[in-house]
């Protein structure tokens, strides 16, 4: 099986703002977890939208080996529709794809249970805490059993304890079906903890400053943050970030 | 304690103003046709209650019918416009032109079209005209208010245009629609009253006609009594809609 998605010499220009990204080449292999790290405005969210097929590239080529409905995105905010219950929100991707409502609802309840939200199906998003809403959003992304899962700074608005728990939960969920995961973050420790490969982008318009591999078991064993591999990876990423910022400045 | 004072303050002010008014009338001996004392106005209101209440209902029912018609038309047009950006560009200037033209100026024309025998139709049409715009523009704004990331999600899962409208844009527009309905209802009452004035004594027996009729007979106390009823009705309708809106928002948000 070939790569799940790839960018080849891709550039993105936004009208009125000029170059936002590139040139960038990046290959996402099936089942790997890749972190995109870079300073604000380096185009990492743009790269994510390209890989998800939500945006066209101005130049270069985007290859996607996944079909419609096999890609899921978790955005920065939970992005749940306030007028629908949690279960209805999670069932939405299935219903849009034509799954009959009772079956979609049943699978939604099941997906909610898998992210630790059993029994809150009838609650509205406004009744959920920030962490719970993010979990519901994760359940909505997983309900279609995607082969490519995109996370766009998904835990940025959460407190440290919640984000650590969620990081472990995402890794456990990943180990069940092993989708390829691409996630964007500007948190170096989070990248080193969750990803098997960390791609560092330079200051905008982003180009690839370098890559760091984290050779350690996934999901992470307890106490992984004290391992030398973790500290070395974080150091290497920080070094690349600093070099990437200088290269442009 | 403070809350009781807060609640009583408006009533106290009204009583104070009424007392000053009454005293001024009695001390200066100003003629009653020019400025009747509030006691006379009260008497006129009580004795005219059997006329004023049906008249108020007449005006209110016209406004409500107009509101329903305006809401239906505005929602339908907003949906069409929401589906086609080209149509929106075409409709905008026309809708704005309609909005900035005063009802009184349009009234004579509508009265002619409605026909001498049916001034009540003209009154409803004019009230519809003023209530239409806030509902229309509110809904159009609302249809575009959905979270852009939710729109992307609909892209991602390949939603059809119809799915997008029914499952995303229309529900997202609900708070805007409710706000538009609230503003539209207030305007429908104003529109109905203005249109009644324009229709004159043509057989529409609403509150405006009461004011006109009393004015022609120089019965100032009746005029003021009708004005008071109109104001009370306006305040009651506004308060009712405010409550409905809040309940609606709670239902929409689930909290």
Q: How many residues does chain B have?
A: 255
Q: Is A227 on the interface with B (CB under 8 A)?
A: no
pTM of the full structure: 0.83
Is pLDDT of A249 > 70? no
Distances (CA, A) of A138 to A110, A115, A120, A141: 13, 7, 14, 5
Q: Which residues of chain B have pLDDT under 50?
A: none
Structure confidence at residue A183 (pLDDT): 92
Q: What is the mean pLDDT of chain A?
A: 89
pLDDT band at A1 (very low <50, low <70, confident <90, very high): low
Tell me how far apart the alpha carbons of residues B92 and B78 are, in angstroms, rounded to a whole number: 11
Strand partners, A11: A59
Q: What is the pLDDT of residue B103?
A: 85
Percentage of chain A beyond pLDDT 90 is 41
Residues of A in contact with B254 (CB under 8 A): 82-83, 85, 123-127
Percent of chain A beyond pLDDT 70?
Answer: 98
Among B124, B61, B129, residue whose Cα is nearest residue B94: B129
Cβ neighbours of residue A111 closer than 8 Å, sequence gap 6 or more: A90, A139, A140, A142, A143
Structure tokens at B224: 């003021």
Backbone angles phi, psi at A9, to 5 degrees: 45, 50
**Structure confidence at residue A157 (pLDDT):** 80
Residue A237 corresponds to which tokens in the numbers above? 């990423």
Q: What is the DSSP string of chain B?
A: -HHHHHHHHHHHHHHHHHHHHHHHHHHHT--TTTS--HHHHHHHHHHTHHHHHHHHHHHHHHHHHHHHHHHHHHHHHHHHHHH-HHHHHHHHHHHHHHHHS-HHHHHHHHHHHH-TT-HHHHHHHHHHHHHHHHHHHHHHHHHT-S-HHHHHHHHHTT--HHHHIIIIIHHHHHHHHHHHHHHHHHHHHHHHHHHHHHHTTSS--SHHHHHHHHHHTT-HHHHHHHHHHHHHHHHHHHHHHHHHHHHHHHHHHT-
> In this complex, do A83 and B158 lie within 8 Å of one another by their Cβ atoms?
no
How close does chain B come to A83, measured CA to CA in Å?
5
Structure tokens that stand for B132 in this block: 């239409």
A128-180 pLDDT per residue, tens? 998 899 999 999 999 999 999 999 988 888 888 888 888 998 999 899 889 99
Which residues does chain B have within 8 Å of residue A138's beta carbon, measured at their own beta carbons?
A: none
Average pLDDT over residues A61-74: 87
Q: What confidence score (pLDDT) does residue A19 get?
A: 85
Total CB pairs under 8 A between chain A and B:
64
d(C-alpha A34, C-alpha A237), whole Å: 13
Instruction: In whole angstroms, give the CA distance from residue B96 to residue B115.
Output: 27
Residue A30 has pLDDT above 70, yes or no: yes
- A67 CB near a chain B CB, below 8 Å? no
Q: How far apart are CA B220 and CA B241, in angstroms?
A: 32
* Beta-carbon separation of A71 and B156 below 8 A: yes
Task: Give the integer Cα–Cα distance in Å for A203 and A44.
Answer: 10
Distance from CA of B161 to the nearest CA of A (A): 11
pLDDT at residue number B114: 86
**Which of A54, A123, A124 has its CB closest to that of B156?**
A54
ipTM of this predicted complex? 0.86
**Measured between CA atoms, how close is B168 to chain A, in angstroms?**
8
- What does the pLDDT read at residue B201? 63
- In this prediction, residue B59 carries a pLDDT of 92
Structure confidence at residue A158 (pLDDT): 83
A10 closest CA partner among A58, A65, A64: A58
Give the helix ranges, DSSP H, for chain A: 44-52, 86-96, 101-114, 130-142, 160-177, 188-194, 228-248
Q: Do B255 and A97 touch (CB under 8 A)?
A: no
Angle between helices B170-199 and B207-216 (to 10 degrees): 20
Q: What are B216's two structure tokens?
A: 């022609």
Give the closest residue to A35 by CA, choosing from A190, A242, A162, A170.
A190
**pLDDT, mean of residues A6-20:** 86
CB contact under 8 A, B252 and A127: no
Which region holds residue A69: left if phi is over 0, alpha if psi is between -120 and 50, else beta? left
At A155, is the secondary structure helix, strand, or coil? coil
> With 0-12 CB in 10 A as exposed, 13-18 as middle and 19+ as buried, what is A51?
buried
> Which residue in A has a C-alpha nearest to residue B153's C-alpha?
A73
Nearest residue in chain A measured CA to CA from B171? A83
């Amino acid at each position: 099986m070939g790569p799940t998605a790839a960018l080849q010499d891709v550039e993105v220009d936004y009208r009125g703002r000029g170059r936002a990204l590139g040139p960038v080449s990046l290959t996402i292999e099936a089942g790997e977890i890749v972190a995109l790290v870079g300073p604000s405005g380096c185009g990492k969210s743009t790269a994510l939208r390209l890989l998800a097929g939500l945006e066209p590239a101005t130049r270069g080529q985007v290859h996607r080996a996944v079909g419609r409905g096999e890609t899921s995105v978790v955005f920065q905010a939970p992005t749940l529709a306030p007028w629908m219950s949690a279960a209805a929100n999670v069932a939405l991707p299935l219903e849009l794809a034509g799954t009959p409502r009772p079956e979609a609802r049943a699978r939604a309840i099941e997906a909610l249970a898998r992210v630790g939200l059993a029994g809150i199906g009838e609650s509205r998003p406004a009744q959920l805490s920030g962490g719970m809403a993010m979990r519901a959003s994760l359940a909505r992304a997983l309900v279609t059993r995607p082969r490519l899962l995109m996370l766009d700074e998904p835990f940025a608005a959460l407190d440290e304890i919640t984000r650590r728990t969620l990081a472990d939960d995402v890794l456990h969920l990943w180990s069940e079906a092993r989708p390829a995961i691409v996630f964007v973050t500007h948190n170096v420790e989070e990248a080193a903890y969750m990803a098997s490969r960390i791609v560092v982008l330079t200051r905008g318009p982003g180009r690839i400053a370098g890559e760091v591999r984290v050779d350690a078991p996934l999901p992470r064993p307890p106490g992984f943050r004290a391992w030398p591999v973790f500290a070395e990876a974080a150091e290497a990423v920080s070094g690349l970030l600093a070099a990437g910022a200088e290269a442009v400045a | 304690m403070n809350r009781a004072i807060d609640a009583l303050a408006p009533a106290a002010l009204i009583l104070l103003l009424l007392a000053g008014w009454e005293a001024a009338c009695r001390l200066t001996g100003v003629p009653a046709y020019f400025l009747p004392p509030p006691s006379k106005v009260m008497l006129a209101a009580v004795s005219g209650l059997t006329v004023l209440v049906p008249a108020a209902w007449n005006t209110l029912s016209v406004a409500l019918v107009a509101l329903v018609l305006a809401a239906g038309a505005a929602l339908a047009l907003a949906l069409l416009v929401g589906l086609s950006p080209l149509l929106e560009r075409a409709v905008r200037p026309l809708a704005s032109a309609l909005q900035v033209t005063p009802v009184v100026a349009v009234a004579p024309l509508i009265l002619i079209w409605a026909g001498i025998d049916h001034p009540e139709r003209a009154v409803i049409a004019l009230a519809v005209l003023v209530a239409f715009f806030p509902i229309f523009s509110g809904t159009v704004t609302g249809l575009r208010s959905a979270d852009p990331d939710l729109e992307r999600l609909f892209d991602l899962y390949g939603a059809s245009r119809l799915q997008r409208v029914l499952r995303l844009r229309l529900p997202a527009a609900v708070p805007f629609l409710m706000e538009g309905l609230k503003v539209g209802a207030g305007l429908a009452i104003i529109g109905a009253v203005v249109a009644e004035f324009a229709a004159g004594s043509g057989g529409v027996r609403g509150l405006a006609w009461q004011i006109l009729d009393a004015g022609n007979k120089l019965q100032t106390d009746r005029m003021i009594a009708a004005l008071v009823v109109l104001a009370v009705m306006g305040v009651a309708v506004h308060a009712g809609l405010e409550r409905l809106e809040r309940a609606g928002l709670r239902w929409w948000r689930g909290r």
